[in-house]
Amino acid sequence: MSVDRDYYCSYKFKYLKIDLVSNNTLNCHAAKSHAIDFSWLDNNKGNLFNTDINVAERQMMLANQRNASCEEICWPLEDKGAVSPRMWQNGKIKTHNSIQTQPEILEIKLNDNCNLSCSYCCKDFSSAWRRDLFANGDYTVDTSDVRYQLTSRDKIMMKVSQQEVKNTKQFQMLMSEIKSFAPGLKEIVVTGGEPLLDNQLFDVLDAVSNSSAVINIYTGLGVDVKRFQRMLDKIKQIPTAMISVSAECTDKFYEFNRYGNRWTEFVNKIELLQKSGIEFRFSTTITNLTVFGLTNFIKYFVDQRIGLVFVNQPSMMAPYVLDADSKQRIMQDIQSLPDHYQTQIAQSIQADPGETQRQQMSEFLKEYALRRNLNVNIYPQSFLDWLDIHVVQ
């Protein structure tokens, strides 16, 4: 361990994600997940945030030791001089000294039901992605996980209804944990899948009704207009609720990367959201595929709050996995944006990509586009040439 390097991250001490589908938890959204031991939890009610592994990892951080779960994303990025989630979320600022604590930020993953198959997503967060694998088989690209491969569990989950999941003993135990955390929370984040497709969304929100925390519901707006309006009518009855809309491109780049939705439909739903009076912002995911449409998106929604999220897994989609000409073009494009956007985007593309990342991206992009009959020619020729993708005009 390098003595002059800081391995502390405040998220280990204040953040908890509960996946109600896979029965896993994460003590940082960028870290490795941990399976829930329900036997242990039954004997340690109210302590889901203080499991043995969570306590041990906090102890290591207070001792400035490098822990294994952060090897998924942050440590490898920082090793090569790239910007990690720990850095852009200010996780390096020391906030806690005790290894026993309670969460301040609770993220609840309701489901993996989603009508969209976004370019940077996978079967773990989208049933549309899972249907692609079921219909067309596994992707040939070799990544470090099974995000593009159909497992026996995936086949089972395709047959399980939302209500069947909610009726399990494990689900009820997790709901009890959520209720116990509610009074001390500062922020509650609800994700999916697509939360607006979940019929139990408001049952889960009722479980945290004794909290004064902001409730931030993430959505890709992949729902029909009538359902969307019904959900808005219910959400605006919750004083502390707000909506984070996932989007990062306009027009043809939007439809390529947010496959399953149309740009005009998306804009119409944003107008409905504005009319509802519900506070909202954009959560904008930056990859080497979405970065090309980013400048136009920021300009289109110039009056709205836009938070940038930089993808590092799978590593082939990191924003810096680009050819030199594309990087130069992006640097020119962002000159018209406010300084804080310029700084973040420039930092995200500065690292040098590896050959394995380039090869994986080439293989993935060809297969993703072919399965959806999408036109890759919307991307710069230099990028396609670098990926060795040759399309007949």
Flag whether pLDDT at 225 surpasses 90: yes
pLDDT value of residue 138:
96
pLDDT value of residue 200:
87
325-380 per-position pLDDT tens digit: 999 999 999 999 999 999 999 999 999 999 999 999 999 999 999 999 999 999 99
Q: How far apart are CA 187 and CA 298, in angstroms?
A: 26
30-50 per-position pLDDT tens digit: 788 899 999 999 999 999 999
Decide if 18 contacts 51 (C-beta within 8 A): no
Helix then strand then coil, % of the chain, to nearest 5? 45, 10, 45
Question: Exposed, middle or buried by CB within 10 Å (0-12, 13-18, 19+), for 39?
Answer: exposed
243-294 per-position pLDDT tens digit: 999 999 999 999 999 999 999 999 999 999 999 999 999 999 999 999 999 9
Task: Identify the band that residue 14 occupies on the pLDDT scale cut at 50, 70 and 90.
Answer: very high
Select from 68, 71, 19, 72 the least CA-distant residue to 48.
19
Q: How far apart are CA 302 and CA 286, in angstroms?
A: 17
Residue 16 phi/psi, 5° resolution?
-140, 130
176-221 per-position pLDDT tens digit: 999 999 999 999 999 999 999 998 899 999 999 989 999 999 999 9
Flag whether pLDDT at 392 surpasses 70: no
pTM attached to this predicted model: 0.93
Question: What's the rounded mean pLDDT across residues 56-82?
Answer: 90
Residue 44 phi/psi, 5° resolution?
-135, 55
Decide if 243 contacts 289 (C-beta within 8 A): no
pLDDT value of residue 2:
46
Decide if 322 contacts 288 (C-beta within 8 A): yes
Select from 365, 364, 366, 334 the least CA-distant residue to 349.
334
Tokens of 113: 């039901």
Spatial neighbors of 6 by CB under 8 A, at least 6 apart, are 64, 92
Spatial neighbors of 369 by CB under 8 A, at least 6 apart, are 256, 375, 376
Flag whether pLDDT at 162 surpasses 80: no
pLDDT value of residue 108:
96
Question: What's the rounded mean pLDDT across residues 226-248?
Answer: 97
pLDDT value of residue 327:
98
Q: How far apart are CA 369 and CA 374, in angstroms?
A: 5
78-117 per-position pLDDT tens digit: 898 888 889 888 899 999 999 999 999 999 999 999 999 9
Beta bridge partners of 35: 24
**255 compared with 73, residue with greater pLDDT:** 255
